[in-house]
Amino acid sequence: MKHTLSVLVENKPGVLTRVAGLFARRGFNIQSLAVGESEDPNLSRMTIVIDGAEHPIDQVTKQLHKLINVVKIRDLEPQYTVASELMLIKVAAEGEKRNDVLQIAEIFKAKIVDVDRRALVLRVVGATDKLEALLELLQPIGVLEVVRTGIVAIGRGRG
Amino acid sequence: MHAADGYARATGKVGVCLATSGPGATNLITGIANAYLDSIPIVAITGQVRADLIGTDAFQEADVTGITLPIVKHSYLVQSAAEIPRVIHEAFHIASTGRPGPVVIDVPVTALLGELTYKAPDSLHLAGYKPTVKGHVKQIRAAAQAILEAERPVLYVGGGVISAGASDELHALADLIQAPVTTTLMGLGAFDERLPLSLGMLGMHGTVPANYAVHECDVLIGIGVRFDDRVTGKLSAFAPQARTIIHIDVDPAEIGKNVEPSIPIVGDARHVLAALLAELQKAELVPGRTAPWLAKIAAWQGEFRLHYEQPAAEGVVAPQFVIQEIERVTGGEAVIVTDVGQHQMWSTLYFDYRFPRQWISSGGLGTMGFGLPAAIGAKLGRPDKTVIDVSGDGGFQMTMQELATAVNYDIPVVVCILNNGYLGMVRQWQDLFWNKRYSQTCIAVQPDFVMLAEAFGAKGMRVSSPEHVGEALREAIDSGRPTVIDFKISPEENVFPMVPAGQSITELIGGKASRKTRGAKS
Ligand SMILES: Cc1ncc(C[n+]2csc(CCOP(=O)(O)OP(=O)(O)O)c2C)c(N)n1
Ligand SMILES: [Mg+2]
């Protein structure tokens, strides 16, 4: 099972390296990692997705906790979590292909953020499976470049 | 670095070492890794190039915080002099509390030459660092209950008991519940090995009674241990009859890492054991409940005595005998430091350790070259004690230049080289498991250690017959000078008992006086 960890860390140089280094050293495979400043400028929040079947999630969180700069860890429960990811896709869109791309973009509520004679850049935000579905549809048309932020997630409600 | 480590192990205080930038700092790596794996409190301060030059491949620049990242408890790259007081206070706090470990402080020369008005920080703000000290009350009650119901309990004790200073509590507990105690390599000294309840060390080169007892126990009480592979052998066959495994450790990440305990207790061993004792004292212990178990153990102890033969050849002594003589001559009170190899294992087996911090050895990393510098540090920390370094002819040559330090600062350690002319421990594996294909293990071409010691200004001696072992030791200790004794030992003597790597701890060889089982696995 996939686990989404929300990890509050001190906003200091080298902290990302410590976290990434720990994962590498213990052989934990990161599926996705996103990091940015939190509501408190002294703290950053990381969203880390890992495969719990591969590694006992308990070991992962305990080892993370041992890092002095890690302040708090939450293992987000899927049903109480809002998760989202942003993806930019550059698609070859010449001639009649262009219309196909625009239609697909419309369905997925993807925004066209750059237009050029030969290519379009789409921006889409949403759950990972939505992003994957869009990619799959665009693939035969000609995907030139993809860039994703990784998942960011937050617990529902006030908790 | 190893000297700071030896000092820390001998005293329980934080050991400190300094190194210059670049190659000086990288020379600390092995020592830092060694301290990390054995949870030894160290603050290592390294010089760094000017702050504005960091990242430019400046002369003698090395990314020390980067290189040491996976082997430190924490590290700092100081930016300016103003940070130094806070960083030093935090570093000592982190190194010495919770599960101890090494902390690196990398200080650019610009910060070292900077000026500041010193003011001790009023308090430390470490939002992400709050080690658990007290154990969970409910869990402690559950542990007490399991212990009360145990018929065949075993206390399996590691370095955590020594670092927590919980030896007294351990003795009280063992005595109260009449449970035998086995220690890991790191735990030696936590429980007085002269006591009838002592099983000695367990694991790969542990005693037969210790390994059998763990195999047959119904309740295993692990305290400050990490179920290391050198202890458990094949994990699936470890303590198969234990209904209940209690695991007490200050590091939550150790719990469930290798073995899933039925009763985990996170906390400092001293606090938890004291609470457990209090709980058990309230309860009604059935007197003699473990008596049949202790009788069984006593029978094993009678059947599987440690044994060795005096060498038939002239001009050599039995290494085991040397260790026994060290114990006799020092009244068993010396601090024993070792290097890594066969001599280390003979030192665990043939000396009865009595008090915590008496035994100083590189456990987790198994670092050859640790012995002499660690002994120097230990002697600095415990000038009142005789400090003996038992070393191999191989490992000694890795750090023998520290004799100069011992002579320079007049630190009278006695180095006992058990000289077999081999990298003996590796030769033993080649002997037992690889048909005696001795590859790169013969080191018979070596310096004359007596002359070498004298060249350094230390005292050098050589012993090649059993009757001279004791008197040579006496003379070395009485000389009050750093001394090297070159003991010529039987070159192909093996360490027994032995559990081959990855096997069940009952699959041991060389447990009985008739050694016909040897070579069974080749
Ligand atoms: C730095 C280092 N290199 C290699 C090893 C692997 N190793 C473990 S024991 C040993 C042999 C040690 O030989 P010696 O110091 O003569 O001791 P003996 O086993 O003969 O008592 C070796 C090479 C090690 N533990 N540390
Ligand atoms: Mg040797």
Pairing of strands A119-126, A81-92: antiparallel
DSSP assignment string, A14-79? THHHHHHHHHHHHTPPEEEEEEEE-SSTTEEEEEEEEETTTS-HHHHHHHHHHSTTEEEEEEE-GG
- Residue written as token pair 């709980």: B279
Mean pLDDT, chain A, as a whole number? 93
3-class DSSP string for B150-209: CCCEEEEECHHHHHCCCHHHHHHHHHHHCCCEEECCCCCCCCCCCCCCEEEECCCCCCHH
pLDDT average, residue stretch B206-220: 96
pLDDT average, residue stretch B262-267: 97
B128 phi/psi in degrees, rounded to 5: -100, 15
CA B508 to chain centre: 22
Cα-based distances in Å from B342 to A39, B360, B460? 57, 15, 22
Residues B170-190: tens digit of each pLDDT = 999 999 999 999 999 999 999
The whole-number pLDDT of residue B513 equals: 59
Helix/strand/coil for B487:
strand
Count of C-beta atoms within a 10 Å radius of residue B55: 9
Is the Cβ pair A17, B77 closer than 8 Å?
no
The whole-number pLDDT of residue B520 equals: 29
Given a cut of 60, is residue B515 above it in pLDDT? no
Rounded Cα distance, B297 and A126, in Å: 65
pLDDT average, residue stretch B23-42: 98
Pairing of strands B181-183, B198-201: parallel
pLDDT average, residue stretch B344-366: 98
Please tell us whether the domain made up of B137-303 is placed in CATH 3.40.50.1220: yes
> A62-66, B114-118, B510-514: which range is least confident on average?
B510-514
Nearest-Cα residue of chain A relative to residue B91: A68
Count of C-beta atoms within a 10 Å radius of residue B374: 35
User: What does DSSP assign to residue B492?
Assistant: T
Partners of residue A66 in chain B, C-beta under 8 Å: 73, 251, 253
Q: Topology of B319-492 in CATH?
A: Rossmann fold (3.40.50)
Given a cut of 50, is residue B519 above it in pLDDT? no
Residues B129-149: tens digit of each pLDDT = 999 999 999 999 999 999 999
- Residue B368 near ligand 1, beta carbon < 6 Å: yes
| A126: its two tokens | 């949403």
Closest CA to B328 of B208, B469, B427: B469
Pairing of strands B181-183, B483-488: unpaired
Q: Which of B1, B361, B425 to mutate to test the pocket of ligand 1 (most atoms within 8 A of CB)?
A: B425
pLDDT average, residue stretch B156-160: 98
In the CATH hierarchy, which top-level class contains the domain B2-112? alpha beta
The whole-number pLDDT of residue A95 equals: 86
pLDDT average, residue stretch B332-339: 98
Count of C-beta atoms within a 10 Å radius of residue B118: 7
* B128, B253, B257 member nearest A68 (Cβ): B128
Residues B73-82: tens digit of each pLDDT = 999 999 999 9
Given a cut of 50, is residue B522 above it in pLDDT? no
The whole-number pLDDT of residue B280 equals: 97
User: Where along chain B do its domains lie?
Assistant: 2-112, 137-303, 319-492
Q: Let me know if the fold of B2-112 is the same as that of B319-492.
A: yes
What residue type is assigned to position B154 of the chain? V
The answer for A 13-42 residues in CB contact with B (under 8 A) is 13-14, 17-18, 21-22, 25
Given a cut of 90, is residue A158 above it in pLDDT? no
Residues B426-485: tens digit of each pLDDT = 999 999 999 999 999 999 999 999 999 999 999 999 999 999 999 999 999 999 999 999
The whole-number pLDDT of residue B502 equals: 87
pLDDT average, residue stretch B317-341: 98
Domains and CATH numbers, chain A: 2-76 (3.30.70.260), 82-155 (3.30.70.1150)
In contact, B14 and B4? CB cutoff 8 Å: no
Please, which residues bridge with residue A126 across strands? A85
pLDDT average, residue stretch B347-359: 98
Question: Which atom of ligand 1 is nearest the CA belonging to B398?
Answer: 1
Question: Which atom of ligand 1 is nearest the CA belonging to B346?
Answer: 21
pLDDT band for position B521 (50/70/90)? very low
Is omega for the bond preceding B500 within 30 degrees of 0, making it cis? no
Atom 2 of ligand 1, residue of closest alpha carbon = B368
Rounded Cα distance, B83 and B24, in Å: 23
Burial class for B141, CB neighbours closer than 10 Å (0-12, 13-18, 19+): middle
Rounded Cα distance, B13 and A153, in Å: 44
Given a cut of 60, is residue B103 above it in pLDDT? yes
Helix/strand/coil for B393:
helix
> B396-400, B443-447, B509-513: which range is least confident on average?
B509-513
pLDDT average, residue stretch A11-28: 91
Is the Cβ pair B257, A70 closer than 8 Å?
no
Rounded Cα distance, B374 and B405, in Å: 12
pLDDT average, residue stretch A20-32: 89
CA B425 / ligand 2 centre spacing (Å): 8
Please give the angle made by the CA atoms of B421, B423 and B426, to the nearest 5 degrees.
140
pLDDT band for position B511 (50/70/90)? confident
Atom 11 of ligand 1, residue of closest alpha carbon = B423
What residue type is assigned to position B117 of the chain? T
Distance from CA of B226 to the nearest CA of A (A): 14
ipTM: 0.86
Burial class for B109, CB neighbours closer than 10 Å (0-12, 13-18, 19+): middle
CA B356 / ligand 1 centre spacing (Å): 26
CA B201 / ligand 1 centre spacing (Å): 20
The whole-number pLDDT of residue A55 equals: 72
Given a cut of 80, is residue B518 above it in pLDDT? no
Cα-based distances in Å from B185 to A57, A113, B202, B345, B423? 30, 64, 8, 9, 20
Is the Cβ pair A62, B253 closer than 8 Å?
yes
